[in-house]
Amino acid sequence: MMMREHVPIASLSTLRVGGLARYVFDIESAEQVTMAFTFAREHQLPWRVLGEGSNILADDAGFPGVLLHMILRGIQKEESGETVLVSARAGENWDSLVRYAAENELWGIENLAGIPGTVGASPVQNIGAYGMEVKDTIHSVTVYDAHLGEVQDFSNAECRFGYRESRFKQEPYQIILGVTFKLQRNGTPRTMYADLERAVEQGVTLDTPAQIGAAVREIRSRKFPDLTRYGTAGSFFKNPVISEDAYRELKGLYPELAGYPAREGVKVPLAFILDKVLGLRGYRVDNVALFEMQPLVLVAYDGATAIEIDAFAKEIAEKVFDVTGIKIEREVRTFP
């Protein structure tokens, strides 16, 4: 295990902002988690966990404690008839796991191709895309419970998954060490989302997990900024769920507004509201902008600070509220 001092969090975050972390422990095994905790306790320092930093807005002031940088790698599979249990360690790159599943012709996570971040982060917000959520294939999650000081397994039901939700959001002391997925030898392509339907119409064959994964990556590469070129954390805001009355009213004004039934009302694409209702596609203030190709995504240019991004995001939320009455929420989490 490597312990580093005074590390810019900007170098560990895809938004590329954030001040210095006092200590960073690059964690490669469950035992090293315990060692990092012992160190934090002995020095009476706070601690936080970080994967690939693809969903955080890190404070310019940095973090005066111990940062557990989860880089544990490894994927294993265990066959059992039509089902295959695939276990991946927390620091494994999410899309590498999707590719592994595709290479082994396993179904269940192919629509989640190209989502940035680690396997360990995937259950936290129950990542989902194109009609598929990771909770549908998670068999169990192995954690180090920092309160109890022991490793335990949670079954799918014990993870309390919801839409972009899980117990891990409320219980950050459950440090995810690995996830076991229940994948299928046989499956049916799920192509009900407009982007994938369009691909089919254009003649793209979507018969296997590998073909679907490749198509999803291609779609995403058009919509989401290249992480190697810009600071970004993907979708910065969540797509809002509004009441049926509010939806009818907005739809009256903007007939092209899509709407999808959700538990507490109607889910609407925020990108449409930002673009067509507010005319904010590509809107930029100094070093921060809404991405031209997908306004739900925020882009941080060189020199951007967390304060600047925070102010920009607040301004966008106010504009949405002033014009539509919708209170939008951030998907990106403030760090620490």
Give the footprint of ligand NAP on this chain (CB under 6 A).
125, 127-130, 192-195, 223, 234-235, 239, 260, 267, 269, 271, 296, 331
Burial of 301 (0-12, 13-18, 19+ CB in 10 A): middle
Are 301 and 294 in contact, with CB atoms under 8 Å apart? no
Are 70 and 117 in contact, with CB atoms under 8 Å apart? no
54, 87, 140, 235: which is the annotated catalytic residue? 235
235 as an active site residue: the answer is yes
Nearest Cα to Cα of residue 314 among 328, 324, 300: 328
Output 40 or 102, the one with its CB closest to ligand NAP: 102
143 — phi, psi (to 5°)? -130, 160
Question: What's the min distance (Å) between Cβ of 311 and ligand NAP?
Answer: 23
166 as an active site residue: the answer is no
Distance CA 240, CA 117 (A): 23
Q: If you count them, how many residues does the chain have?
A: 336
Question: What's the min distance (Å) between Cβ of 308 and ligand NAP?
Answer: 22
Question: What's the min distance (Å) between Cβ of 46 and ligand NAP?
Answer: 26
The continuous run of DSSP H or E covering 54 comes out as: none
Q: Helix, strand or coil for residue 7?
A: strand
Q: Which tokens sit at 90?
A: 């927390």
Output 27 or 233, the one with its CB closest to ligand NAP: 233
Output 106 or 233, the one with its CB closest to ligand NAP: 233
155 — phi, psi (to 5°)? -75, 170
Output 55 or 142, the one with its CB closest to ligand NAP: 55
Output 258 or 285, the one with its CB closest to ligand NAP: 258
Question: What's the min distance (Å) between Cβ of 45 and ligand NAP?
Answer: 30
Question: What's the min distance (Å) between Cβ of 164 and ligand NAP?
Answer: 6
Phi-psi region of 24 (alpha: psi -120 to 50; beta: other; left: phi over 0): beta
Output 74 or 269, the one with its CB closest to ligand NAP: 269
164, 167, 190, 281: which is the annotated catalytic residue? 164
Burial of 270 (0-12, 13-18, 19+ CB in 10 A): buried
Q: What does the DSSP assignment read for 116-136?
A: -SBTTTTTTTT-EETTEEGGG
164 as an active site residue: the answer is yes
Q: Which tokens sit at 210?
A: 């590998």
Residues carrying an active site annotation:
164, 235, 331
